[in-house]
Structure 1
Amino acid sequence: MVLKSREDLKQIRVESQNKMAVDDCRILICAGTGCLAGGSQEIYNRFEELTKDIDSVSCEFGREIAHVGVKKSGCHGFCEMGPLVRIEPMNYLYIKVKPEDCEEIFNETILKGKPVERLLYEVDGKRYESQEEIPFYAKQTRLVLKNCGHIDAENIEEYLAFGGYSALEKVLFDMKPSEVVNEIEESNLRGRGGGGFQTGYKWRQVAKQPEKIRYVVCNGDEGDPGAFMDRSIMEGDPHKMIEGMMVAAYATGAQEGYVYVRAEYPLAISRLKGAIEQAEAYQLLGDNILGTDFSFKLHINKGAGAFVCGEGSALTASIEGERGMPRTKPPRTVEQGLFGKPTVLNNVETYANVPMIIENGSKWYLGIGTEGSPGTKAFALTGSVNNTGLIEVPMGTTLGEVIFSIGGGVKNDAKFKAVQIGGPSGGCLVDTDLELPLDFDSLKKRGAMIGSGGLVVMDENTCMVEVARFFMNFTQNESCGKCVPCREGTYRMLEILERIVNGEGKLEDLDMLEELGQAITDTALCGLGKSAALPVLSTLKTFRDEYEEHINKRCPAGSCEKLRSYVIDPEACKGCSKCARNCPVEAIEGVIKSPYVINQEKCIKCGACIDSCPFKAIAIAN
């Protein structure tokens, strides 16, 4: 159906709602990347088989005949427990589902309305039947992620049934472009991709340019290790982001847009392509949308995996077919961006906030979060935390609430040590920061940043020097090489860090790391370069004693291979010689039925002795 007017849009929305109402029961199988990797496609196929003749089956959960809809949803967020299956209208959430569980779910839940208790989430002896009651979800405020896990991610009609494209309808028929810019500016929506720049101000700068050819670009090049917020939105609710881009285009006078997605996100690209094709079929994308003078076309551009292409000018250069490298500014992207034209550039999550603001108003949005950072923020919670996954909380939620209330605390009851926030461009927070509000301004004062929203939790067994080395290795590999501070500075910092973790460091290396880090921060060409040294500088500030321990050839966490020493407990050793027989370099000496000894000069620290000892007499000495 081609939508030629506002009335047509309202009609198709009602028709879509009626289609959804036909499903007396809905089986929503998580079809995000993580759950698909865990086998959710097979689960989907099995439910399709089981329900193909359901229309003729009498059921026992309150309806005489049930029509069951089997749907592929986006990421539910509770990644630790996947594959996930949600059953509506009961709102049961089944965790760690396997294809062989489907028949039991069908017989007990679909036909009888009873939960399969062994598949429900349980903590501290309590089982949770309703997804919304699970602490992981109950303590979140899911607005951007509201539809993820609740609608068919591949069907535009379900997005329409949930009120989709209402914001586009409102701006096209009830608002002038300048009023849209005002609304976004008054909401104080700040960019969710890194530095928190004001979105409305950026849109206003583009709208006032004399050049009339303008572009809207979405940065879906989510390169931070451990981050998958934007990917989940593109996979689970692509139309929300598209609608936000269309509102931006209307507000700024653009007629063409590009979504820049890293090629490592094949499912996101596939879902976006499908969403764009469906929107074009309804003529929600194209010429004279809904019979108005507004026209907008949208393209997808795949990135080759360069981290630097998350920077605006490098991203636009890549779309143009050039090598993705930042350029000096001014001129800025709002003045001369894509193809030298004024360009609105925001990330996926930022655009996904826009429809809500337009529908509910800036005052509503300002009531969420903090005064300086309104709204919510999605975080990818990973590392040594019990409930890894994708979460969304109001800005200003404390770090402790995220890790211990939503995340369920540190794994194996280990002691919390630190969290790396914002990926390679971010910083390190520690136990004294657990009451720190997670918002743009509070983190900036602490010397950290939200970045795109990655949160990597680390426990007492984590070596902070190795963490700094890991992020510096990543940044150095991803440096585009255009400016000397980043190209050479990160290389030299990495050299020093590798010496330190190998037990070859010197005390003066710490001063050199600080000096190099500050020089890179002050002189690098782009924002990514300027933040490249942050993980090192923040860990140096907070864990300097750990660096000094490494220089004294000791890794407190026992994770740096070259600084490990393996010792045999003479009290526990039975003299069986199994460790000596398994040592590849004959570093273990002794006689049968007497305690053996490890020659530290010969030992290559491979750990074969620990694996082979039946009496657990060998340990790593920190």
Structure 2
Amino acid sequence: MMLSIRQLIRSPLPSPIPTLACIRFNTTGPEQAPKKTKFGPLHDDDRIFTNLYGRHDWRLKGAQSRGDWYKTKEILLKGVDWILGEIKSSGLRGRGGAGFPTGLKWSFMNKPSDGRPKYLVVNADEGEPGTCKDREIMRHDPHKLVEGCLVAGRSMGARAAYIYIRGEFYNEASNLQVAVQEAYSAGLIGHNACGSGYDFDVFVVRGAGAYICGEETALIESIEGKQGKPRLKPPFPADVGVFGCPTTVANVETVAVAPTICRRGGSWFAGFGRERNSGTKLFNISGHVNNPCTVEEEMSIPLKELIERHAGGVTGGWDNLLAVIPGGSSTPLIPRSVCETVLMDFDALVQAQTGLGTAAIIVMDKSTDIVRAIARLIEFYKHESCGQCTPCREGDFKKKKKKKTLNNCF
């Protein structure tokens, strides 16, 4: 049985399978390599985020010793088309939840200039219950994000990046601001960034704790000093974004992996995971597990292996598992029968009638009162609703009333 917490935002489905009449058989060409069927575990040499647990120095010297800012000037000088080509060939899809192809999204900014500057906005307003992957990047690997802003900004011809960080993330904002200042002092950003002739600024903007500011247009409104309320679309941010200028809004993890993809090649990144679901991914595992953690793994790794290998398994053993929320509280939960075989990627979870979302895995064992658990999430969304759209404003209120009815039934 599937219990939906909120309406699932589905990723694009694969293209329809061609009919037999349209298939051409090549009897003379070389045999194609067999499709990959085993995913994970990820080797340490292939990890992009090497300081998730803060065991190493997060300042500039420490970051450079781990490979950050290496040959960044060469990447910038290769130009917009080359950077976009690597991102597209990598198969990278947005890591914030929607899963839109990143290279395609960034290419929307490469239109003839109308005189307005272009901006990159990084959505670091990580307020989804159960999600804390971006927090670890900003706290322990902030230079990955700053360098990522520079590379991503170059790919879209942006003049500056605004990193909008959740108001409660005080330590993360402090570390990020220090990293930005270090990058300025070293000539890595600002005027003539990395000696490339490209001018690029990075600004850190702190939010005030509103969940709705995770929505891209509400976030833009907040950066402009207005109340964080979503805008009507169209116009879309790529046409009219922050300060009325063309803007791309991207997730922290999406931006942070861009330099490594450019250094190691899009084909390297595309070698992980399945087709349309490639790369490495940060997963949060919390709830009823023996070792809650944030870990980088190969996309498409089985959910069961992910929990047992990195989180020490379900408390009381796998048979004690009741259900899992696989992608943050906005995604429908799945029962143990589905968890046995499901892969952790966009398409597999859509087929399982849920979604990858932010890849924040919330594990519930059989001691969980599932009605109370969902009621708690309903209360969160009711409290955080901006009240502008009817389904959210009225729907959460009605769900809360329905919850009371369910409580009386048990």
TM range (shorter): 0.7 to 0.9
Counterpart secondary structure, 1:379 = strand
Secondary structure at 2:172's aligned position in 1? helix
Deviation at 1:499, TM superposition (A): 2.9
Q: Which has the higher contact order (CA 8 A, sep 6+)?
A: 2
1:380 is matched with which residue? 284
Deviation at 1:411, TM superposition (A): 1.3
Q: Does 1:303 align with 2:197?
A: no
Percent identity for Structure 1 against Structure 2: 37
Instruction: Name the SS of the counterpart of 2:278 in structure 1.
Output: coil
Match among 419, 433, 444 for residue 324 of structure 2: 419
The match for 1:104 is: none
Offset at 1:147? 3.2
Q: 1:228 to 1:151 in 2, by over 3 A?
A: same
> Deviation at 1:251?
1.2
> Which amino acid is the alignment partner of residue 94 of structure 2?
G
Per-residue Cα deviation, 1:455-489 (whole angstroms, up to 9, x for no partner): 11000111111122111111111111011121111
Q: What is the aligned partner in structure 1 of residue 403 from structure 2?
A: 497
The TM-score, its normalising length taken from structure 1, stands at 0.57
CA-CA distance at 1:167 after TM superposition: 5.2
Using the TM superposition, give the Cα deviation of residue 334 of structure 1 relative to its aligned residue in structure 2, in angstroms: 1.5
Tell me the residue number matched to 1:462: 368
Q: Indicate the residue corresponding to 1:242 in structure 2.
A: 146
The AA in structure 1 aligned to 2:326 is I
Tell me whether 1:355 sits opposite 2:259 in the alignment.
Answer: yes
Given candidates 229, 253, 256, the residue that maps to 1:325 is 229
- 3-state SS of 1:263 partner: coil
In terms of Rg, which structure is larger?
1
SS in 2 for 1:163: coil
1:232 maps to 2:136: yes
SS of residue paired to 2:199? coil
Q: Tell me if structure 2 keeps the 8 A contact 1:167–1:355.
A: no
User: Please, which of 194, 205, 217 is the counterpart of residue 108 of structure 2?
Assistant: 205
- Gaps of at least 5 residues in structure 2 are 1-39
Q: Which has the higher helix share?
A: 1
SS of the aligned residue for 1:392 comes to strand
2-structure distance, mates of 1:282, 1:405? 40
Partner Cα separation in structure 1 for residue 179 and residue 133 of structure 2:
18
Q: Answer yes or no: is the 8 Å Cα contact 1:195–1:440 preserved in 2.
A: no
Select the residue among 49, 66, 70 that pairs with 1:162.
66
Bigger mean CA offset, 349-358 vs 288-297? 288-297
Q: 1:451 aligns with which of 357, 361, 374?
A: 357
The one-letter code of the counterpart of 2:341 is E
Q: Does 1:262 align with 2:166?
A: yes
- The Cα of 1:364 is off from its aligned counterpart by 0.7
Deviation of 1:373 (Å): 1.0
Contact 1:209 1:342 in 2 (8 A): no
1:151 lines up with 2:52 in the alignment: no
Query: What residue number does 1:488 align with?
Result: 394
CA–CA distance in 2 between the matches of 1:209 and 1:323? 32
Match for residue 477 of structure 1?
Answer: 383
* Equivalent pair of 2:72/2:194 in contact (CA under 8 Å): no
Corresponding position of 1:435? 341
Offset, 1:424: 2.6
CA positional deviation for 1:141 = 4.8
Q: Secondary structure at the match of 1:344?
A: strand
- Unaligned runs of 5+ residues in structure 1 are 1-137, 504-550, 555-622
Looking at structure 2, the residues matched to 152 and 188 of structure 1 have their Cα atoms a distance apart, in angstroms, of 31
Change (3 A) 1:141 1:383: farther
Residues in 2 aligned to 1:479 and 1:313: alpha-carbon distance in whole angstroms: 15
Mapped to 1, the partners of 2:324 and 2:380 lie a distance apart of 18
Whole-angstrom CA distance in 2 between matches of 1:372 and 1:273: 35
Separation in 1, partners of 2:71, 2:207: 29
User: Which residue of 2 is the match for residue 316 of structure 1?
Assistant: 220
Quote the residue 1:181 is aligned against. Answer: 84
The corresponding residue for 1:280 is 184
- Do structure 1's residue 172 and structure 2's residue 76 form an aligned pair? yes
Q: CA deviation at 1:139?
A: 4.2
Match of 1:613 in 2: none
- What TM-score, normalized by structure 2, do the two folds share? 0.86
Determine helix, strand or coil for the equivalent of 1:189.
Answer: coil
Change (3 A) 1:376 1:277: same
1:118 alignment counterpart: none
Query: 1:421 Cα shift?
Result: 2.1
Residues in 2 aligned to 1:141 and 1:484: alpha-carbon distance in whole angstroms:
47
Query: 8 Å contact 1:384–1:411 — kept in the other structure?
Result: yes
* CA RMSD, 1 decimal: 1.6
1:144 CA drift (Å):
3.1
Work out whether residues 141 and 394 of structure 1, in 8 Å CA contact, stay in contact via their aligned partners in 2: no
Tell me how far apart the structure 2 counterparts of residues 270 and 252 of structure 1 sit (CA, whole Å).
27
2:312 and 2:112 map into 1 onto residues whose CA distance is: 49
Q: How many residues align?
A: 365
Q: What is the aligned partner in structure 1 of residue 245 from structure 2?
A: 341
CA shift in 2, pair 1:167/1:493, >3 Å? farther
